[in-house]
Amino acid sequence: MYKLVIQGGKPLKGTVKVAGSKNASLPILFASILADTPLTLNNTPQLSDISTTLRLLMSMGAEFILESDSSLFVDSSTLTNLVADYDLVKTMRASILALGPMLTKYGKAKVSLPGGCAIGTRPVNLHLQALEELGATIEVKNGYIYAETKGLLGANIHFDQISVTATENVIMAATLAKGTTTINNAAQEPEVSDLCHCLNKMGAKITGINTSIIIIKGVEKLEGVQYSVCPDRIESATYLVAAAITRGSITVKNTNPQVMRAVLGKLIEIGADIKTDKSSITLDMKGKRPKAVNIKTSTYPNFPTDMQAQFTALNTIAEGHSTITENIFENRFMHIPELTRMGAELTLEGNTVVCKGVKSLTGAHLMATDLRASASLVLAGLAATGTTTIERVYHLDRGYETIEEKLKLLGASIERVQD
Ligand code: UD1
């Protein structure tokens, strides 16, 4: 097992290039099941969630070629095993995205129930109800979802709650359904839009992209295309916070500031000087201590839950008091006890963390628990005095491409060492 060892206290400086979006790549990889010909995906990140998805697709009969570090050729046009097995699904909840494409293309699918995870119970009822409304017969037994249909039919779907992957599953299922599907209260996250753009390039007829009402006219078939995945807004934002927490100055390249307004607004509030152009963001703290900011997570375009832990780390050393309210996942506070061990003053009251900024954190031995919580511990380690050791780095590898290499290029003292 690997761990990260960080010597904190160095302001980050320089330029970092972010990878393609994890949360856009995953649904698009599953969308390859819908196509009758292979798909070439550019700007994909090198992450363990991507290799898990490829292993899952391969276990179903797909083939792939890694054409370069960020380019993938995927042929999922003929699946021979319509099963997403527990062993892979348990490591990545996004595997539920295999359900809609398999069901609509082959008329049946067996997908393991993902189960809970460190950030909450994470049910899949919205996925299943919506697919039933499209005409699927669904049975859940022995930990698996068994879905069948003689052919999905377009329907008017209303989600009671906004869900990113449920919206994506239904969009993919509806592309090959007969007739028109309207999704009301759809997720508007940029990764949903990226999936829609790719599907339209493949021959789908999707309108209402970037809105809460998405309309899909079913088509007979989809073809593989070449598509470039959008930049990862969460990776971009994490590096910006890394610069802010160390009072540094960095430029993030290969990004899209347009889809990061809520986060950039909060960075301006903490006192950062922010400059953007079409595909880059520069943050300069001018050596100042950040000011505390209140955070409330919500659905896009509001502040993302995937940045809550990182902003909590930032608030721990900021000037003043703040509250951080988590409205999406009930249990997304695994980083709180670890940050407290570094000297942070945090109190959990229901789904709100009350934070009193301290002048500095001290390095400690920490345990990573989930992807974004782990990122917050790295950020805290970069700001702390002394040495921070973070165990269970595999959580970070799910969502951050070569994080220690990128941070080192920005001047951080960080090493990956084997136990
Ligand atoms: C996606 C992202 C994840 C992000 C989250 C919220 C991917 C691969 N993952 O996860 O990084 O943190 O959106 O932006 O894109 N819910 C139900 N029933 C369901 C589905 C969801 O009750 O059937 C609830 C969840 O428990 C949660 C809320 O809806 O409270 C939103 O979750 P959802 O948007 O579905 O998250 P994911 O799509 O799993």
pLDDT digit string (tens) for 324-361?
999 999 789 999 999 999 999 999 999 999 999 999 99
Q: For all residues of the chain together, what is the average pLDDT?
A: 96
Residue that has been written with the tokens 């782990």 in this structure: 374
Average pLDDT over residues 372-392: 97
Kindly state the DSSP code that residue 401 receives in the 8-state scheme. Answer: T
How sure is the predictor about 156, in pLDDT bands with cuts at 50, 70 and 90?
very high
Ligand 1 atom at minimal distance to the Cα of residue 22: 8
Test site for ligand 1: of 47, 113, 163, 259, most ligand atoms within 8 A of the Cβ: 163
Q: What is the pLDDT of residues 264-286, one digit of tens each?
A: 999 999 999 999 999 999 999 99
Task: Answer yes or no: is pLDDT of 66 > 90.
Answer: no
Distance from Cα 93 to the centre of ligand 1, integer Å = 10
Closest-CA residue, ligand 1 atom 11, reads 306
Task: Answer yes or no: is pLDDT of 117 > 70.
Answer: no
Collect all residues with Cβ–Cβ distance below 8 Å to 414 and sequence separation of at least 6.
4, 5, 6, 7, 378, 381, 382, 404, 407, 408
Test site for ligand 1: of 157, 165, 191, most ligand atoms within 8 A of the Cβ: 165
- Cα–Cα distances in Å, from 132 out to 128, 146, 170, 205, 365? 6, 12, 10, 22, 48
Average pLDDT over residues 286-303: 98
Q: How far apart are the first and last CA of the chain?
A: 6
pLDDT of residue 122: 77
Judge whether 165 and 328 are in contact, CB under 8 Å.
Answer: no
Q: What is the pLDDT of residues 163-202, one digit of tens each?
A: 999 999 999 999 999 999 999 999 999 999 999 999 999 9
Q: Ligand 1 — pocket residues by CB below 6 A?
A: 23, 26, 93-94, 120, 122-127, 161, 163-166, 191, 304-306, 328-329
Burial (0-12, 13-18, 19+ Cβ within 10 Å), 275: exposed
Q: How far apart are CA 275 and CA 401, in angstroms?
A: 24
Ligand 1 atom at minimal distance to the Cα of residue 299: 14
Closest-CA residue, ligand 1 atom 22, reads 123
Question: pTM for the full model?
Answer: 0.97
The closest of 32, 12, 45 to 232, measured between CA atoms, is 45
Q: What is the pLDDT of residues 217-237, one digit of tens each?
A: 999 999 999 999 999 999 999
Which of 117, 196, 198, 230 does the annotation list as catalytic? 117
Task: Answer yes or no: is pLDDT of 121 > 80.
Answer: no
Judge whether 30 and 165 are in contact, CB under 8 Å.
Answer: no
Ligand 1 atom at minimal distance to the Cα of residue 300: 14
Test site for ligand 1: of 328, 331, 376, 398, most ligand atoms within 8 A of the Cβ: 328
The answer to which of 22-26, 69-73, 96-100, 208-212 has the lowest mean pLDDT is: 69-73
Q: How far, rounded to the nearest angstrom, does the alpha carbon of residue 323 sit from its chain's CA centroid?
A: 23
> Taking the CA atoms of the chain, what radius of gyration do you get in angstroms?
21
117 noted as active-site residue: yes
The answer to which of 31-35, 160-164, 294-298, 331-335 has the lowest mean pLDDT is: 331-335
Q: Indicate the length of the chain as a whole number.
A: 419
- Ramachandran quadrant class, 93 (left: phi over 0; alpha: psi -120 to 50; beta: rest): alpha
Percent of the chain with pLDDT over 90: 94
Distance from Cα 126 to the centre of ligand 1, integer Å = 10
Ligand 1 atom at minimal distance to the Cα of residue 127: 23
Q: How far apart are CA 191 and CA 204, in angstroms?
A: 17
Q: Which stretches within 176-257 are classed as H helix?
A: 190-202, 233-245
